[in-house]
Structure formats: C-alpha cells, structure tokens
Amino acid sequence: MKYIIGNWKSNKDSREVTIWFETFAKLYKKNKTGKLNNLKVIICPSFVQLVQAKQLVISHNLPIKLGAQDVSPFANGPYTGEVSATQLKELVEYVVIGHSERRNNFQENGGLLVQKVVMAIKERLKPIFCIQGPKTTIPPGVSIAAYEPVWAIGSGTAETPENAAKIARQVKQNKLANLVVYGGSVTPENVCGFLAGSSIDGILAGGVSLDPVKFWQIIVNAASL
C-alpha cells in the first residue's frame, strides 16, 4: 500500500474546491483501474473546506480520505482560533503535524508538537508527522512520518530517491514510525522514482496537488508500478 497525500496548504475558495473534486471525479470515473486499490489517497484542505470536501467525496463516491493540516494542542474549550482533534474527528482520519511551514512561520516545536500528536491519537486521528531529516525528533505514537527537507519544498528541486529511501530506512530501523512518505517538489514525472522500492511508503505533494489533472497523473503513475 502506498500513500498519495495532497496538502493544499492555504489555498482554494469553495468554488475552486467544487471544481477540483468535479474534475478529479471525471478523471477517476473515466480511467479507474483495480490497481488504485493499492493506493491510499488523502487530501488535506484547509479547515474551512473540510465539511465541503467531505460532502464532495461522498457525493462523487471517491476513494479519497481527508486529512487536516494542523490540530490544536488543547482539548475543546476556550482556545480562540484553534480547532481541536475532537472537532476534527467527524471530518478527517489524518492530520499533518509539524510541517516546516508551521515550525518556521509559527514557531512550533518540540513540546507543542508532542502535545498535538497526543491530542490527535486520543481521538484516533492518524498523525502525518513532518520531519526535516533523521535528526528531527518524532513523538511516540506517530504512524506516518513525512520526510520533507525544507530546501525541496516548493523549490522545484526534489531530494534524490536514494537519499529519501536512506532516511526512510533509518526512521523505520529506529522504530520511530512504521511508515515514511517523502515530500518536496514531487511531480508526476519523479513520483515513480520515490515509490519504486520498498523503503518509501508514499509521497506528500503540495503545489502539484492543487491541480486535479496533475494530481491524477501522480496517482496513475504510482498505480502503474
């Protein structure tokens, strides 16, 4: 099973979300193959679009799971602006925690990220915990780690599949996570290089996931392996 994860970051309004799912659904219905069963496709829209995205996944009958891009380190309560794991659990199965954009722009680090993982797991959400390399601490209970070197994110220069596989193996050998995906300038052209071996369990795409045609092409290429 390989994971194909799309992180939309702070993009799309409700009209664009509708168009994305309509376009994706057309491609899926025209081209679906049994092989898609070997892929787990996860889309992470922003909080405000999760309800709409869930409705569209259901109405188009798509094999897509949803993830949030972040979660509150607190339970429900007086935390203005935060979205708790308890609120998220009826909408998503996954949650991205510790993305470098949150670490760098919002000073998120160590203890705070551990607390986010704790809250996610409490509500049975699966954390997709982003690491910048083998030195990033991974909190206990993380099932999926996402190796995302900062220099590769949005730069058009991806990590080499060999290095990404090496880091994935290190993480697994140290029993820090069962699954490791790679993220950073993944494209339809380079996706197969990352997924060809057994070390890397999937990819996390940012920019390319905004375009349903390109995201579908990633899926088709991954399914062809």
Contacts with ligand PGA by CB under 6 A lie at 7, 148, 153-154, 183-186, 204-208
Q: Which amino acid is at 177?
A: A
Q: Which amino acid is at 86?
A: T
Q: Which is nearer to ligand PGA, 86 or 193 (CB)?
A: 193
Q: Let me know: does 99 contact 113? Beta carbons within 8 Å.
A: no
Query: Residue 100 CB, nearest distance to ligand PGA (Å)?
Result: 7
Q: Which is nearer to ligand PGA, 21 or 182 (CB)?
A: 182
Burial 138-160 (b: 16+ CB within 10 A, else e): bbeebebbbbbbeebbeeeebbe
Catalytic residue check, 60: no
Nearest-angstrom CA–CA distance, 29 and 126: 28
Strands (E), 109-194: 126-131, 144-147, 179-183
Catalytic residue, chosen from 99, 101, 108, 159, is 99
Query: Residue 174 CB, nearest distance to ligand PGA (Å)?
Result: 23
Catalytic residue, chosen from 101, 108, 148, 159, is 148
Q: How far is CA 12 from CA 42, 154, 220, in A?
A: 17, 17, 24
Q: Which is nearer to ligand PGA, 138 or 186 (CB)?
A: 186
Q: How far is CA 126 from CA 133, 148, 219, 221, in A?
A: 20, 18, 22, 26
Tell me the residue number closest to ligand PGA, measured at CB: 206
Catalytic residue check, 148: yes
Query: Residue 40 CB, nearest distance to ligand PGA (Å)?
Result: 16
Q: Which is nearer to ligand PGA, 69 or 72 (CB)?
A: 69
Q: Which is nearer to ligand PGA, 110 or 154 (CB)?
A: 154
Q: Let me know: does 39 contact 195? Beta carbons within 8 Å.
A: no
The set of catalytic residues is: 99, 148
